[in-house]
């Protein structure tokens, strides 16, 4: 089975199931670095997933964690450090942290799924999208439904957004026939397969999303059998750390575009 919704926003203009390189393809330990995104682009990926934090002086860094501690040779909270210090950190001891603006410039044909990790990054991200006219290239998401809703209000209808946790819960309830309010304006639901042991993505959920014109993107899927099962359900996108594996699975189905 293939995805059944083409999407109403230009960001979703893709002829088949969308393969997302999660953090550029995090399996090699160079997550959210220009090197990782270059490798994904070299494999034919067009959609990248990343995260953003704002430094103390308002620079927008593509990085997942609130602190530098886990994956770099530096320490400290990004929000409390100026860019002049953050830029000296090295992922895996060798790769610098990129500014999101640099990634938009280096990969002009790429589309970005951006998770706003903290409130201070919201306004700088919207302003960057507006300044670079990247409306068709960026989809904004967050675990916080309120944060995504604020981004949508600030940017207007040209901004593609996904649902946060509260929106996904409402969509799940609706799939069981239980009334639940849903924010207008989202173009997709980006979800894990399961949450706290409860199944999120099944045929009922995908059907309900598609009936509302929403795409379903699932994260983070690294095993080929799980990828195949989700494709059989008709999901519209898969985010993976193992970018070669997903390319192989989609190619075997004639769905690698």
Indicate which residues carry an active-site annotation: 22, 64
Beta bridge partners of 139: 113, 160
235: tokens are 């999901």
**Cα torsion angle, 140, 143, 147, 152, sign:** positive
* C-alpha angle 8-37-155 in degrees, rounded to nearest 5: 40
128 close to 62: Cβ distance less than 8 angstroms: no
CA distances from 216 to 2, 223, 239 (A): 12, 18, 11
Rounded CA separation 3/231 (Å): 8
Beta bridge partners of 180: none
237: tokens are 């996108």
């Amino acid at each position: 089975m293939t995805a059944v919704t083409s999407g109403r926003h230009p960001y979703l203009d893709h002829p088949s199931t969308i393969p997302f390189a999660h953090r550029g393809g995090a399996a090699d330990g160079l997550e959210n670095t220009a090197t990782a995104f270059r490798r994904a682009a070299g494999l034919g990926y067009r959609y990248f997933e990343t995260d953003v934090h704002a430094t103390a002086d308002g620079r927008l860094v593509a990085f997942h964690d609130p602190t530098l501690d886990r994956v770099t040779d530096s320490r400290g909270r990004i929000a409390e450090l100026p860019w002049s210090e953050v830029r000296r950190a090295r992922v895996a001891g060798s790769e610098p942290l990129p500014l999101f603006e640099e990634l938009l410039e280096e990969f002009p044909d790429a589309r970005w799924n951006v998770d706003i990790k903290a409130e201070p990054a919201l306004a700088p991200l919207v302003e960057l999208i507006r300044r670079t006219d990247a409306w068709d290239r960026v989809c904004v998401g967050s675990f916080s439904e309120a944060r995504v809703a604020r981004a949508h209000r600030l940017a207007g209808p040209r901004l593609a957004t996904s649902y946060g946790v509260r929106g996904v819960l409402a969509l799940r309830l609706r799939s069981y026939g239980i009334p639940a309010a849903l924010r207008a304006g989202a173009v997709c639901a980006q979800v894990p397969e399961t949450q706290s042991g409860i199944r999120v993505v099944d045929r009922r959920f995908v059907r309900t999303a598609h009936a509302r014109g929403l795409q379903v993107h699932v994260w983070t899927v690294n095993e080929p059998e799980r990828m195949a099962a989700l494709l059989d359900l008709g999901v519209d996108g898969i985010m993976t750390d193992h970018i070669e594996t997903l390319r192989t699975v989609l190619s075997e189905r004639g769905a690698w575009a």
